[in-house]
Chain A
Amino acid sequence: MLCRILRKSDPESFVLYLWRNRPTIVIGRNQNPWKECNLKMMASRDVLLARRTSGGGSVYHDMGNSNYTVVMPREAFTRDKCAEMVSRALHHADIPAYVNERHDVAVEGRKISGSAFKLTNKRAFHHGTMLIDADLGRLHGCLHSEAKDDIEALGVESVRSVVTNLREYSLSIDHLTFCQAVMSEFGRTFGKLDVGRNVTVWDESDTHVVGMVEEERKRISTWKWLYGQTPRFVHRFGGVVGGKPVVAKVSVYHGHITEVSLGYDAGQEDADDCGVFQMISDSLVDAPYVAADVRSCLGPISRESPTAAELCRWILEKIMEAASGDSA
């Protein structure tokens, strides 16, 4: 819906969009899900993965988190204007919110809202989360990848902050009262808002609206967008296989393995070892960086010899620490 608003709205208009999601980790456009997220844990807790088109880091959405987006003419864009608008909206609920140096909204040093931005040639948008009553326990651990320190990536890393829910500061605030407060402040900031004419409310039962955005929904659900959009990265890991220290380097681009380099740490490879290393490397090139695909590529190689089987098992185990996501 947001992409549709960005493309179809009057270029001179200011549009406020307020929305909520089922439990989802939303990564920024240029982030690495394998480095940012614990995909195994997310799957076990029914937390979805989404990638947005704006920049910035990873955030958590559920029905206790409300999102606001302001779409505006490109020349009207500043990073703090909308965050300040939302802070003022919260002041009306007696919540002492302010905008911090990272353009996020905070209360007493704790982040309640993360911001991200998108700039096109004619339009821009600012969107932010607002943790009202989110299930932060469900989130805990989902943003900690076991392979985080082994992955060197181009792209954007999240900056961790201490977060809190608005519920700690107000017993009465909820999604509806937050939306009403933000709409009022939006009208005061950007111009008169005629609630009767200019405000539309819909949900998943509004099939005509869902139909309008179906194409975009499909596009952002594809593996190509969720995982294939990931900037170039290298996953390095080491261990002991068959009593020998071994090092591996897996290079990945557009979510597919482009090169695998294997070797014994002290250069102890013999001709047979080199042969196995080469077979493993060749089998993995072009494979999606997904455990199931890696397993299927390594299957035939693991039957070549006991050494090959041990190496394949080890490689799969290390890649599974990161790459438990959906198949391509």
Chain B
Amino acid sequence: MSFRVLTKSFVSQRLTPSLLHRTFATKKYTPSHEWISIDKNIGTVGITEYAQNSLGDVVYVEVPEEGTEVELGDVVGAVESVKSASDIYSPLTGEIVEANQAVTEKTKLINSAPETDGWLFKVKFTNQEEVDNLLDEAAYKKLTEADH
């Protein structure tokens, strides 16, 4: 009895898109090969698997200072690999609320886990439009396939 009641309750509750957004972080991308995992108003940023593959062995990582105010497109960090210094850009306007210090000491995390443990920084953003303008996974995949 109770089981039937529970089942009926579950079916009648609709999973709305807003509920989905609150439950799962969404992942977006930039044309300059950063990924951003959006969770409420915090974006966690790193470089993609595609980027680390083309960079080679990473020997130095610079992350932004916590508390820094940044604008979309600002250079906020750097990665060096095989004598190449690459700029890292902020994909969103906001405040840097956390930076991954571990990756500055274990730089190879960028190569081994670029989209998980190799995250670079978290930015608290206020402009949803900037998020909406980022690439979704399909669009980013198309971009990287076009490069080949």
Which residues on B sit within 8 Å (CB–CB) of A117?
82-85
Query: Given known contacts A57-B83, A116-B84, what 11 new A-B pairs fall within 8 Å (CB)?
Result: A28-B85, A29-B85, A30-B60, A30-B78, A54-B84, A55-B60, A55-B82, A55-B85, A102-B83, A118-B84, A118-B85
Complex Cα spacing A231 to B86, Å = 16
Q: A30-B78, A75-B147, A121-B89 are in contact. Are A231 and B62 (CB under 8 A)?
A: yes
Interface: A41 (CB within 8 A): no
Contact across chains for B85 and A53 when beta carbons are under 8 A apart: yes
Interface residues of B in 46-61 (CB under 8 A from A): 59-60
Q: A154-B104, A231-B60 are in contact. Are A115 and B83 (CB under 8 A)?
A: yes
Interface: B105 (CB within 8 A): yes
Complex Cα spacing A54 to B104, Å = 18
Interface residues of B in 61-93 (CB under 8 A from A): 62, 78, 80-87, 89
Q: A28-B85, A121-B32 are in contact. Are A55 and B104 (CB under 8 A)?
A: no
* A-B pairs with beta carbons under 8 Å apart, 23 shown: A28-B83, A29-B78, A30-B85, A54-B83, A55-B80, A55-B81, A55-B85, A56-B83, A57-B83, A79-B82, A79-B84, A102-B83, A116-B84, A117-B82, A117-B85, A118-B84, A118-B86, A119-B85, A119-B87, A120-B86, A121-B89, A154-B104, A232-B104
Q: A121-B31, A121-B89, A156-B60 are in contact. Are A29 and B83 (CB under 8 A)?
A: no
Cross-chain contact of B80 among A120, A156, A232 (Cβ < 8 A):
A156
CB of B145, distance to nearest CB on chain A (Å): 13
Q: A29-B78, A154-B105 are in contact. Are A116 and B62 (CB under 8 A)?
A: no
Q: A75-B147, A154-B104, A154-B105 are in contact. Are A119 and B60 (CB under 8 A)?
A: no
Give the size of the chain B interface in residues (CB under 8 angstroms): 18
Which residues on A sit within 8 Å (CB–CB) of B31?
121
Complex Cα spacing A309 to B110, Å = 47
Task: Count contacts between A and B, CB distance < 8 Å.
Answer: 62
Q: A155-B60, A231-B60 are in contact. Are A116 and B78 (CB under 8 A)?
A: no
Cross-chain contact of B83 among A53, A55, A120, A155 (Cβ < 8 A):
A55
Contact across chains for B82 and A30 when beta carbons are under 8 A apart: no
Interface: A144 (CB within 8 A): no
CB of A27, distance to nearest CB on chain B (Å): 12
Complex Cα spacing A156 to B61, Å = 10
Which residues on B sit within 8 Å (CB–CB) of A55?
60, 80-85
Contact across chains for B62 and A120 when beta carbons are under 8 A apart: no
Which residues on A sit within 8 Å (CB–CB) of B62?
30, 231
Which residues on A sit within 8 Å (CB–CB) of B104?
154, 232
Which residues on A sit within 8 Å (CB–CB) of B86?
118-120
CB of A83, distance to nearest CB on chain B (Å): 11
Complex Cα spacing A314 to B78, Å = 37
What's the dominant secondary structure at chain A's contact region? Answer: loop
Interface: A103 (CB within 8 A): yes
Which residues on A sit within 8 Å (CB–CB) of B85?
28-30, 53-55, 116-119
Complex Cα spacing A231 to B61, Å = 10
What is the interface residue range for chain A against chain B? Answer: 20 to 34
CB of A139, distance to nearest CB on chain B (Å): 20
Complex Cα spacing A117 to B147, Å = 20
Q: A30-B60, A30-B78 are in contact. Are A120 and B84 (CB under 8 A)?
A: no
Interface residues of B in 100-128 (CB under 8 A from A): 104-105
Complex Cα spacing A155 to B81, Å = 11
Which residues on A sit within 8 Å (CB–CB) of B78?
29-30
CB of B38, distance to nearest CB on chain A (Å): 21
By beta carbon, the residue of chain B nearest A116 is: B83
Contact across chains for A120 and B87 when beta carbons are under 8 A apart: yes
Complex Cα spacing A32 to B42, Å = 34
CB of B135, distance to nearest CB on chain A (Å): 14
Which residues on A sit within 8 Å (CB–CB) of B147?
75
Which residues on A sit within 8 Å (CB–CB) of B81?
55
